[in-house]
Structures are given as C-alpha cells and as structure tokens.
Amino acid sequence: MLLVVGVYVVAGNLVNGVGGAGKALAKGSVPAAYQTLVQKWGNLCPAINPALLAAQLYQESGWDPDVVSHADARGIAQFIPGTWAAHGIDGDGDGDRDIWDPNDAIPSAASYDCELAKYVKDVPGDTTNNMLAAYNAGAYRVIKSGGVPAITETQNYVERIRALEESFAAPVGRVDPSRQAAGAIAFAQKKLGTLYLWGGNGTADQGGRFDCSGLTKAAYESVGITLPRVANDQYNAGPHPERSELLPGDLVFFSDDLTNSRAIRHVGIYVGGGYMIDAPRTGAVIRFDPIDTPDYFGATRVTEDGAKALPTTV
C-alpha cells in the first residue's frame, strides 16, 4: 500500500464558537448521562448554548460528579459551598438542592451563567465573553473595566472556554484542515513497524515505543501542538468532521460506547483511503489499519487553539 501525504492549501474559515441557543452538541461529546441536561439547560438564555455549557463543565470537572478541588469547589460544576448557597437551584424538582447531584448542579451552572449575563448586559462587547469573565473575576470587575478585564487568568479563561466550545459543538460548515497535519503524519510514518508498548511515549528508555495516544501526542508535538496524554481528552482538541469529511491528519477514535467520548479507548491518525496509522495493541506494531469498524466513534480536526484550551487535570 502506498499512501502519499500532500500539502493542504485550502481556503475558508473555521466555524466560530459563538453563542447561540440551539447549537447542536457534537456526537458523543457529552456523556450520555448528562447530554439531555446540557442540551436543555444550555438553552436557558441567549448568552449561553449547550456547547458552551459543556465546555465549562468539562473544564471544571472533566465530567466527574465527585471531584473536590483544593479550594473546596465541589461536584461536576465545581461550586464553592458559599456560591452554591446563593445560586444553587433545585434543577430536578425533587425538593432539595444537592451540590453533588448533576441534576441540580448542571442546571445551577446554567442558571448562574444567565444571572451573570444579566449583571453585565450593558457592558460593551460580546455578552458571552463578558459573562465568562464575570464567572472568573466577578461581575464588578467586568463592569468597572468596561469588558473583559486585563487580568491574564480571566482572559485565558474566556479564550479557553470559547475554544473548547468548538469541540463540543457539531460543526455547521466545512472545517479547515490543520496546517500541521502533514507533519504529524510524516512523524507517524517514520514509526511504522515499531513494537507497541502500553504507556509508551517513545522515549529512549522505552526503546522509542508507543501506545496509541502516545503516538498521536508525539506526532502532533513534533509540529508544535501539545495534546493531552490520553485518547478521550485528545477528542476535545478541535472540531469534529463527519466520516465523509475526513482529511489526512485528523485523529480518529474508537469506543465500545458510541454515546460517550469519555469511554474512548483507541486513537489513530487518518491518512486517507479509509486507513489510519495507529499503535493497536500489545504484541502488534505501529501499522496501517482500516477505520471503518463497528467501534468507530468519530474524528477530531486538531487545532492549535483547541489543544491549548484543554485542561491538564481532567
């Protein structure tokens, strides 16, 4: 099999992660247990949408309903108890407000966003960006600054959530290819025939061996893009083209649960013609494999902004 990787020069724009009620969630990007909640409550007010709400929850907790931060922020939406006391709601109508219950916490996160949006509605600039800034730095600072304040942490937070929003939203148009795609494939091609190693990152002490996500991480790192270490987080490194829209360099993912990106267990680099380069399993070597299998989950077109936005603690 001869697979030739070319240079891609394609005009067009990435679909912008702008606010808008009704924005569809990308396939499986939200765990099935929370998808209905996120879709419903993500449409609570014009300043948010389901993909934006999903991005916040992923950034805060990685969809873990039991996590506690060093600052005592709790649950899937990472509310501090004092904030919860003022802004937590009974989302499921069962008569209590439980900070640990996603059925309360996810609606409360959406409700809190919309409250903040009301506070900053008269501030110049993008209402959603100002709302996110208020979430991070407080509404008073946004109002006083006349927009997103010149606080590095706050500016980075707004940029991260807006970039992650793209990953949770189903694209509504063509998605541009990554400029680094050809280089990532070239790196992976040089590793063909290398024996698989569970947990392998390609280091000298590991004999230059990789597992599946170690290979994709190293391939994109070779062209200046840092991905998370595990496959189910790599899924959020950019928007998600349909199977018919795949281009060489896209990451392709596989799972036994096609409704939940957190259950992804394998990743490869698409090279065209229905094939990928991947590190399949113990005892096998890095090789070309077909992608059209029953466990094919979906794909991600890696973007620099998407990769930079990914949290390092989920």
Task: Write down the domain spans for the chain.
Answer: 34-168, 179-309
Structural tokens at position 128: 């959603």
Q: Could you report the per-residue pLDDT of 229-281, keeping only the tens digit for each?
A: 999 999 999 999 999 999 999 999 999 999 999 999 999 999 999 999 999 99
Which of helix, strand or coil describes residue 95? coil
Q: What is the pLDDT of residue 17?
A: 32
- Measured in degrees and rounded to the nearest 5, phi and psi for residue 235 equal -60, -25
Q: Could you report the per-residue pLDDT of 123-166, keeping only the tens digit for each?
A: 999 999 999 999 999 999 999 999 999 999 999 999 999 999 99
Which of helix, strand or coil describes residue 145? helix
Decide if pLDDT at 6 tops 90: no
Residues 68, 257, 274: CA angle, nearest 5 degrees: 125
Which residue blocks in 146-269 are alpha helix, DSSP H? Answer: 152-168, 181-190, 212-221, 231-234
Judge whether 264 and 196 are in contact, CB under 8 Å: no
| Sheet containing strand 296-300, strands side by side | 287-290, 275-278, 264-272, 251-255, 296-300
* Lowest mean per-residue pLDDT among 2-6, 72-76, 229-233, 238-242: 2-6
Q: From the centroid of its chain, how far is CA 309?
A: 8
Residue 223: which residues within 8 A CB-CB, separation 6 or more?
A: 180, 183, 184, 187
Amino acid at 216: T
For domain 34-168, the CATH architecture is Orthogonal Bundle (1.10)
Instruction: Please name every residue paired with 254 in a beta bridge, in sequence order, or none if there are none.
Output: 266, 296
Which of helix, strand or coil describes residue 292? coil
Which of helix, strand or coil describes residue 3? coil
Structural tokens at position 192: 């063909």
Query: What's the rounded Cα separation, in Å, for the pair 30 and 48?
Result: 16
Cα dihedral 222, 62, 257, 201 in deg (nearest 10): 30
Judge whether 209 and 191 are in contact, CB under 8 Å: no
Q: Which of 87, 31, 3 lies closest to 260, judged by CA?
A: 31
CATH topology match: 34-168 vs 179-309: no
Query: What's the rounded Cα separation, in Å, for the pair 21 and 207?
Result: 50
- What's the whole-number mean pLDDT along residues 13-39? 72
Instruction: Please name every residue paired with 269 in a beta bridge, in sequence order, or none if there are none.
Output: 251, 277
Cβ-based burial of 270 (10 A; exposed 0-12, middle 13-18, buried ≥19): buried
For domain 179-309, the CATH architecture is Alpha-Beta Complex (3.90)
Amino acid at 298: G
Share of the chain above pLDDT 90, in %: 88
- What's the whole-number mean pLDDT along residues 85-102? 97
